[in-house]
Amino acid sequence: MGSAVDRGGDRESRGRAMNPNFDQIKKTTDIVRVVESYGIALKKVGADHVGLCPFHEDTKPSLRVTAGKGLFRCPACGAAGNVIQFVAKKEGLTEREAALKLCGSIPGVMRASELPTAGEAAQPRSLPSLPSVDEATRAKLLARVAGFYAKTLFKDRAGLDYLKARRLDDPAMLETFSVGYCNGTLRNALPKAGEIIGQLQAIGVLNERGNEVFYGRVVVPIFDAAGNVVSLYGRRLDDEQPRHLYLKGGHRGVFNGIAAKTSQSLIVTEAAFDAMSLWAAGFHNAISLYGKDGWTADHETLIRENGVTEIVLALDNDERGREAADALENKLSGLVESVHRVMWPEGVKDANAFFLSRTAEDFRALLPQPVRAARADEETAGKEEITLTPEGFTLAVAGRRYELCAIEKPRRAHAVSGRGLCRTGAGKRLHSRRSG
Ligand SMILES: [Zn+2]
């Protein structure tokens, strides 16, 4: 327990050597009061309290809090747990940190029993004056953080070993998605105090104590249509909860959404790692949801704006995955021309598990017949395609697009610069080359 802290994530608290009594906290803490202290209005319905779930974009009150049992759950996004897990998830803390917080042993943080009730808390009990961060600054900082984590992946074996075990270590895939690892060293690369710390706290990269929220996680940035990093997804290497963590502030962007720019047919998975497995196997048109019920407005916009005509659902091979696929199929039927479903072989949990022991050929065989035929056409025909743009032209070769950006005339020779499109979406230059 609390390994994140013990491993050096937080040196100052080690001196205190606090060992929170989890059972005691769960028994004595009023979960309703804690939830309300985050500005979530709860209404009593039968034995439960219900309110808007803070873990997904909730429009109807989905969150159910059962005070008698000290538990919360949200059937819509699957979030569930006890009071410690609620605080951990809400604030991006480890469970130990959350427990310490609820014990009131963190200076400046009130004991859970002393938290104001909903009526008193006019606004969510917030941190002392975090700066407001504009969108451009936010995107710039997130890109830098993601870049730092991507470098860390190759410096600290832990993240890479984990990915390797899940067969997610294809170098091109890792580069394309700027996959990284957070081992707590970002803090060392930052100034001790000052503007940037406050900004990273406001964005949610650092918690209120200045520690990294994504500590001990593989981190994958999520981009918007313009190629800005708008969120981060973090997967814990061990199975400590929450296993899946997103940057606070609601789900934004679609993982590998840039695929919609070059493919009218998309494969939809539940999680980013499933889409990454598909990508590494050559299915570059895989995007992911935010969990089984995680279809967002950004997904819908992506489909509409890029004129996507076909969706292949490749959700998890379990009861809940199938239910979610049913619901999504209904939703999508008005949005695209055709919706298909991958029928996984028995015993295969999801796309990531599928590719642990199977090939791209095996997956192709699972695709519905019309999709398979269209894919074969795509692969054999039209290897090169040139599109004129105001600046020059783009050239598509074997599924990648290149854009001619500028022609300069330095002395006598013509120099041409170009860049690869459709890789990360970050506008990253992958094939920047000058030729005389
Ligand atoms: Zn929820």
Q: What is the CATH number of the domain that holds 35?
A: 3.90.580.10
* C-alpha of residue 79 to centroid of ligand 1, in Å: 6
Asked whether residue 235 falls in the same domain as residue 308, the answer is no
pLDDT, mean over the chain? 81
Pairwise CA distance, residues 91 & 118, whole Å: 18
* C-alpha of residue 293 to centroid of ligand 1, in Å: 9
* C-alpha of residue 64 to centroid of ligand 1, in Å: 9
**In the chain, what is the straight-line distance between the N-terminal and C-terminal CA atoms, in Å?**
60
CB atoms within 10 A of CB 272: 25
Q: Which helix (H) or strand (E) holds 136?
A: helix 135-153
In a domain, 331, yes or no: yes
**Under a CB-based contact definition with an 8 Å cutoff, are residues 294 and 340 in contact?**
no
Task: Say which amino acid occupies 317.
Answer: N
Query: Which residue is associated with the tokens 């707590």?
Result: 184
| C-alpha pair distances (Å), 151 with each of 144, 154, 378, 417 | 11, 6, 35, 26
DSSP codes, 250-317: ---S-BTGGGGGT-SEEEEESSHHHHHHHHHTT-TTEEE-SSTT---HHHHHHHHHTT--EEEE---S
* Helical axes 95-103 vs 83-91, angle rounded to 10°: 110
- pLDDT of 303 higher than 70: yes
Asked whether residue 304 falls in the same domain as residue 276, the answer is yes
Asked whether residue 328 falls in the same domain as residue 289, the answer is yes
Tokens of 264: 């009218």
* C-alpha of residue 110 to centroid of ligand 1, in Å: 26
Asked whether residue 240 falls in the same domain as residue 275, the answer is no
In a domain, 65, yes or no: yes
How far does CA 62 lie from the centroid of its chain? Answer: 21
- pLDDT of 210 higher than 60: yes
In a domain, 339, yes or no: yes
- The whole-number pLDDT of residue 127 equals 44
What is the domain extent for residue 196?
135-246
Pairwise CA distance, residues 124 & 141, whole Å: 25
Tell me how many domains the chain contains. 4
In a domain, 201, yes or no: yes
* C-alpha of residue 235 to centroid of ligand 1, in Å: 18
* C-alpha of residue 55 to centroid of ligand 1, in Å: 5
Give 37's DSSP letter: T
CATH number assigned to the domain comprising residue 340: 3.40.1360.10
- The whole-number pLDDT of residue 214 equals 96
Asked whether residue 156 falls in the same domain as residue 91, the answer is no
* C-alpha of residue 179 to centroid of ligand 1, in Å: 26
- The whole-number pLDDT of residue 348 equals 96
Asked whether residue 78 falls in the same domain as residue 143, the answer is no
In a domain, 349, yes or no: yes
Domain boundary among 189, 218, 246: 246
- The whole-number pLDDT of residue 386 equals 64
| C-alpha pair distances (Å), 179 with each of 84, 100, 150, 299 | 29, 31, 5, 21
* C-alpha of residue 289 to centroid of ligand 1, in Å: 14
* C-alpha of residue 349 to centroid of ligand 1, in Å: 23
* C-alpha of residue 294 to centroid of ligand 1, in Å: 9
Residue 165: helix, strand or coil by DSSP? helix
In a domain, 54, yes or no: yes
CB-proximal residues (5 Å) to ion ligand 1: 53, 55-56, 74, 76-77, 79
CATH number assigned to the domain comprising residue 147: 3.90.980.10
Asked whether residue 21 falls in the same domain as residue 43, the answer is yes
Pairwise CA distance, residues 417 & 407, whole Å: 7
* C-alpha of residue 295 to centroid of ligand 1, in Å: 12
Asked whether residue 365 falls in the same domain as residue 276, the answer is yes
Pairwise CA distance, residues 299 & 294, whole Å: 9
pLDDT tens for 255-302 read 999 999 999 999 999 999 999 999 999 999 999 999 888 999 999 999
**Under a CB-based contact definition with an 8 Å cutoff, are residues 270 and 315 in contact?**
yes
* C-alpha of residue 261 to centroid of ligand 1, in Å: 30
pLDDT tens for 23-44 read 888 887 888 888 888 888 899 8
Domain boundary among 246, 267, 289: 246
Domain boundary among 182, 216, 246: 246
> Per-residue pLDDT averaged across 53-73, rounded?
91
Asked whether residue 327 falls in the same domain as residue 233, the answer is no
DSSP codes, 162-214: HHHHTT---HHHHHHTT-EEE-S-TGGGS-SSSHHHHHHHHHTSB-TTS-BTT
* C-alpha of residue 225 to centroid of ligand 1, in Å: 25
Asked whether residue 156 falls in the same domain as residue 197, the answer is yes
Across 50-54, 57-61, 417-421, least confident range: 417-421
- The whole-number pLDDT of residue 298 equals 93
Asked whether residue 227 falls in the same domain as residue 286, the answer is no
* C-alpha of residue 274 to centroid of ligand 1, in Å: 21
- The whole-number pLDDT of residue 400 equals 60
In a domain, 355, yes or no: yes
pLDDT tens for 148-201 read 999 999 999 999 999 999 999 999 999 999 999 999 999 889 888 788 999 999
* C-alpha of residue 320 to centroid of ligand 1, in Å: 15
Asked whether residue 333 falls in the same domain as residue 416, the answer is no
- pLDDT of 53 higher than 50: yes
* C-alpha of residue 396 to centroid of ligand 1, in Å: 41
- The whole-number pLDDT of residue 107 equals 37
Task: Say which amino acid occupies 117.
Answer: T
* C-alpha of residue 75 to centroid of ligand 1, in Å: 7
* C-alpha of residue 83 to centroid of ligand 1, in Å: 15
- The whole-number pLDDT of residue 6 equals 38
Give 242's DSSP letter: P
In a domain, 123, yes or no: no
